């Protein structure tokens, strides 16, 4: 006789488990603890088996019968419900393991190694805020270009540059998925031209010698803290990236050998870098040494044990009246040196590129090591500092 809800509720636990039959192989098993489990008895290839359909009352009588009928349809087609459930669970687990977010976080954990926290934080926040909420749970292999385009256009409505950077990050994730066998291709390539065009803006710089002179004179007249004054004066001479300069540590310097060796982990390209020090730079460092040599950092910040904060040199330039949007930034000293060393002083471009810590390769495509052309670069750095001094001299003192 078929079960009813009343009969099920009235079923009390006994010392041993017992069954209350419904129909078509469905029954309720009552445990000594009081738990009530739905089971289905069925046969596959002549063997009798049991299949769990859930726990009462979470699974009602009506739902248990619905699940029973679904399982019986599988049996009728020669499919074992237990095996089918296991395969479905494994497929779901595989799909979850291959979701965009899982793959993206796996890629990110490998990609971020050796990169600055500031840069990596921007990338993961961009993905978490703008991409994961819509595509994170989707299996990599199932995502189609129009789905990503919808996500990117949502970002584009707010910031075109961010949309392009998000597309670039998604492409990196896709290529990683292809490499690890979880996608067949980078589908972001199909979105070429779909977003509003955007080109990266170059850092503002001053490259005209007639304008460099007044800039240097203004910089030498800066009236802020001595550490900032030294960083500001040294920046155009060594033309490093701002973070590479402000995070300089005394242990990296050999003042007697006029040499600054920056370890790979502090460089953008993750290659160790050598900066030959001109007489002018050595003078700046030796004057600063008594003030900050008791700590780690050359350019000590206001907080104990910390370097100058990010953007300090740019702030100093703004104080002097130079717009870091239109005139010059701390990063702009690199473009200044790159242009003038080539066009005005005629130094070899490969020497300049080496000193900028750009990737430079030999005719066979191999990267040069950090000591390549070191003597020539030493002469170039001294000539550069001498040239800056001539430009800085008041007009009436110029020969």
Is 334 catalytic? The answer is yes
Torsions phi, psi of 28, nearest 5? Answer: -110, 125
Is 241 catalytic? The answer is yes
CB atoms within 10 A of CB 302: 10
- Per DSSP, the three-state class of 21 is strand
CB atoms within 10 A of CB 261: 14
**282-289 own/partner pairs: CB under 8 Å, 24+ apart:** 282/255, 282/258, 284/230, 284/233, 284/234, 284/237, 285/230, 285/234, 285/253, 285/255, 286/255, 287/230, 288/226, 288/227, 288/230, 289/250, 289/255
Q: Catalytic pick from 68, 229, 334, 354?
A: 334
Is 368 catalytic? The answer is yes
Question: What is the sign, positive or negative, of the torsion defined by CA atoms of 189, 192, 194, 200?
Answer: positive
Tokens of 176: 């990683």
Q: Catalytic pick from 72, 368, 373, 387?
A: 368
CA-CA distance, 386 to 379, in Å (whole number)? 11
Tokens of 194: 């779909």
Q: Catalytic pick from 241, 318, 348, 373?
A: 241
Q: Which residues, in sequence order, are CB contacts of 233 under 8 Å at separation 6+?
A: 219, 220, 284
Q: Catalytic pick from 65, 126, 182, 331?
A: 331
According to DSSP, the residues that pair with 48 across neighbouring strands are: 43
Is 89 catalytic? The answer is no
Is 56 catalytic? The answer is no
Asked if 250 contacts 256 with a C-beta cutoff of 8 angstroms, the reply is no
Is 331 catalytic? The answer is yes
CB atoms within 10 A of CB 133: 12
Q: Catalytic pick from 92, 279, 358, 390?
A: 358
CA-CA distance, 47 to 225, in Å (whole number)? 87
Which residues are the active-site residues? Answer: 241, 268, 331, 334, 358, 368
């Amino acid at each position: 006789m078929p079960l009813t809800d009343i009969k099920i509720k009235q079923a009390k636990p006994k010392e041993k488990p017992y069954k209350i039959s419904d129909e078509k192989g469905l029954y309720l098993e009552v445990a000594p603890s009081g738990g009530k489990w739905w089971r289905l008895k069925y046969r596959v290839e002549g063997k009798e088996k049991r299949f769990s359909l859930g726990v009462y009352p979470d699974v009602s009588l009506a739902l248990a019968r619905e699940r029973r009928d679904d399982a019986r349809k599988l049996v009728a087609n020669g499919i074992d419900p237990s095996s089918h459930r296991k395969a479905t669970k494994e497929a779901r687990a595989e799909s979850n393991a291959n979701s965009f977010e899982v793959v993206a976080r796996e890629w990110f954990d490998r990609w971020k190694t050796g990169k600055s926290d500031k840069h990596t934080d921007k990338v993961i926040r961009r993905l978490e805020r703008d991409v994961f909420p819509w595509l994170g749970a989707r299996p990599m292999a199932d995502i189609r270009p129009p789905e990503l385009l919808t996500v990117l256009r949502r970002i584009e409505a707010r910031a075109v540059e961010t949309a392009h950077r998000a597309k670039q990050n998604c492409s990196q994730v896709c290529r990683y998925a292809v490499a690890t066998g979880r996608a067949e291709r980078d589908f972001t390539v199909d979105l070429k031209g779909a977003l509003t065009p955007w080109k990266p803006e170059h850092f503002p710089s001053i490259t005209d010698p007639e304008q460099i002179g007044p800039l240097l004179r203004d910089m030498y007249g800066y009236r802020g803290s001595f550490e900032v004054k030294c960083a500001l004066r040294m920046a155009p001479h060594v033309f490093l990236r701002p973070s590479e300069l402000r995070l300089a540590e005394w242990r990296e310097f050999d003042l007697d050998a006029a040499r600054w060796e920056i370890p790979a982990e502090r460089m953008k390209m993750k290659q160790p870098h050598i900066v030959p020090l001109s007489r002018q730079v050595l003078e700046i460092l030796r004057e600063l040494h008594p003030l900050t040599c008791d700590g780690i950092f050359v350019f000590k910040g206001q907080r104990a044990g910390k370097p100058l904060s990010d953007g300090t040199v740019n702030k100093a330039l703004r104080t002097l009246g130079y717009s870091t949007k239109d005139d010059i930034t701390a990063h702009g000293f690199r473009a200044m040196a790159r242009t003038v060393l080539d066009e005005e002083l005629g130094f070899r471009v490969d020497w300049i590129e080496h000193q900028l810590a750009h990737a430079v390769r030999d005719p066979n495509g191999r990267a040069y090591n950090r000591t390549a052309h070191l003597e020539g670069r030493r002469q170039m750095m001294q000539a550069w500092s001498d040239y800056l001094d001539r430009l800085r001299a008041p007009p009436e003192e110029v020969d």
